[in-house]
Amino acid sequence: MQAPIIAVIAGMIRENPETISLGQGVVHYGPPKEAVKAMKEYWSNGENHKYLHVEGIPALLEVIRSKLSADNGIKSTKESRVVVTAGSNMGFVNAILAIADPGDEIILLSPYYFNHEMAVGLASAKPVVVPAGLDYQPRLDLLSWAVSPRTRAIVTISPNNPTGAVYSQETLRGVNDLCRERGIYHISDEAYEYFTYDGARHFSPGSIEGAAHHTISLFSLSKSYGFASWRVGYMVIPEHLGEAVRKIQDTILICPPGIGQYAALGALKRGPKYVHKQVAGIERVRKLVLDSLRKLGDRVTVPETRGAFYFLVRVHTDLEDMALVRRLIEQHRVAVIPGATFGLREGCYLRVSYGAMTRQTVVEGIGRLVDGLQALEQHG
């Protein structure tokens, strides 16, 4: 299992003061005031300091079901169950432990989200990595070919981390149909559901008629509502996995943190208008980043993806990506994430994250990155 790259890069940043981070995937804003207000209700009831419901407090589950219906087209039925989790990362671990035995296979698209690959290994299952197309869209022919008798699930992330790609409704329906036909699960990670630009639209496979029996949908408040350290997310699972997930969550967590659930209740009652306002600002930052990267010309390849808050940049250099990352930090005081951590072993790729940047700070950060990549020409 690889070392947690965010912690590795954070250590390098500490050794090089005044480094600007374009690395970790966080937003620059915090929760809405309604989240703070809702926490007062938490403190007013002494029972909240005891263990709460394993699957989440009833009031939050009710609001989540309403949100899923309104924003994702996922209706509450007897075939599915909602579970509050400690972020969508825990939702993914719950899912893998519930469906996979040691040696079973989980199909990940390359480039993959590193925590997904790590979680599969943690469960003693095997990640089967399938390359995405040139536009970072899934290729159904390759996914179909990769399914074996040991396959338990195909994982999609849309909008995508690390590429920023937004998968089309047609593509996601195709993946979901493939999973149904082969008797496997479709794990749909939708942590970046609100972060789309230039007319791109998010689609939830869990909304497809008949998908509830084989679709696991993962959601998070970490990005959308600025809840990164609060660790609040939720998952929609087939009802037949309910008891297994309940056992797993009770073993690992007992219950999601109560105070975070109350904060989430307030945030979700505020609703997506809060998120849309913040995303509008990130979209302006995105344009500045893209315009700056384009100044590098043929030194880099930058697919213009339309989601999340990442660009996955291929740098045309003979340097290994980690060596380049170290050079950018030590010589130019700017940090990015190397592509190898997302499974890209050939070529030099960097993930550039701009969600934590405001319009005022992005100019300096992306300027340092451009200067550092331009300087590569002098080193051959």
What integer pLDDT is reported at residue 25 of this predicted model? Answer: 86
What integer pLDDT is reported at residue 192 of this predicted model? Answer: 97
Give pLDDT tens digits for 258-299.
999 999 999 999 999 999 999 999 999 999 999 999 999 999
Mean pLDDT of the region 336-353? 92
Mark whether 185 and 222 lie in a shared domain. Answer: yes
Mark whether 18 and 39 lie in a shared domain. Answer: no
8-state DSSP, 256: -
Mean pLDDT of the region 179-190? 98
Calpha distance 233→225 (Å, rounded):
11
Mark whether 347 and 234 lie in a shared domain. Answer: no
Mark whether 90 and 20 lie in a shared domain. Answer: no
Mark whether 137 and 246 lie in a shared domain. Answer: yes
Distances (CA, A) of 287 to 48, 143, 273, 303, 312: 44, 33, 22, 13, 15
C-beta atoms surrounding 276 within 10 Å: 11
Give pLDDT tens digits for 85-137.
999 999 999 999 999 999 999 999 999 999 999 999 999 999 999 999 878 99
Q: Are strands 300-301 and 310-315 parallel, antiparallel or unpaired?
A: antiparallel
Calpha distance 311→367 (Å, rounded):
15
Token pair 């989601």 is found at: 307
Mark whether 120 and 237 lie in a shared domain. Answer: yes
Calpha distance 50→344 (Å, rounded):
45
What integer pLDDT is reported at residue 153 of this predicted model? Answer: 98
Mean pLDDT of the region 5-19? 89
Taking the chain, what is the end-to-end CA distance rounded to the nearest angstrom? Answer: 33
Give pLDDT tens digits for 203-224.
999 999 999 999 999 999 999 9
What integer pLDDT is reported at residue 129 of this predicted model? Answer: 97
Helices of type H across 44-131: 58-67, 87-99, 114-122
Mark whether 84 and 110 lie in a shared domain. Answer: yes
Return all residues near 313 (Cβ < 8 A) that are at least 6 apart.
293, 300, 301, 302, 349, 350, 351, 352
Q: Which residue, of 270, 294, 325, is where some domain finishes?
A: 270
Query: Count of domains in the chain?
Result: 2
Mark whether 159 and 306 lie in a shared domain. Answer: no
Q: How many CA atoms lie within 13 A of 177 on its CB side?
A: 8
With contact defined as beta carbons under 8 Å apart, do 185 and 214 qualify?
yes
Mark whether 78 and 205 lie in a shared domain. Answer: yes
Give pLDDT tens digits for 35-56.
999 988 888 888 889 999 999 9
CATH number of the domain residue 169 falls in: 3.40.640.10
Mark whether 69 and 191 lie in a shared domain. Answer: yes
Q: Which domain holds residue 150?
A: 33-270
What integer pLDDT is reported at residue 24 of this predicted model? Answer: 81
pLDDT for 58 beyond 60: yes
**In terms of pLDDT, which residue wins out, 28 or 175?**
175
Calpha distance 309→100 (Å, rounded):
31
Calpha distance 67→275 (Å, rounded):
13
pLDDT band at residue 377, thresholds of 50, 70 and 90? low
Return all residues near 178 (Cβ < 8 A) that are at least 6 apart.
140, 143, 144, 147, 154
pLDDT band at residue 352, thresholds of 50, 70 and 90? very high
pLDDT band at residue 380, thresholds of 50, 70 and 90? very low
* Nearest residue to 192 (alpha-carbon basis) of 160, 236, 216, 217: 160
Mark whether 19 and 58 lie in a shared domain. Answer: no
pLDDT for 68 beyond 90: yes
Q: Which residue, of 214, 247, 270, is where some domain finishes?
A: 270
What integer pLDDT is reported at residue 379 of this predicted model? Answer: 42
Residues paired with residue 218 on neighbouring β-strands, in sequence order: 189, 235
pLDDT band at residue 378, thresholds of 50, 70 and 90? very low
What's the chain's average pLDDT?
Answer: 93
pLDDT band at residue 155, thresholds of 50, 70 and 90? very high
Mark whether 167 and 142 lie in a shared domain. Answer: yes
What integer pLDDT is reported at residue 9 of this predicted model? Answer: 87
Q: Which residue, of 246, 270, 294, is where some domain finishes?
A: 270
Length of the chain (residues):
380
CATH number of the domain residue 351 falls in: 3.90.1150.10
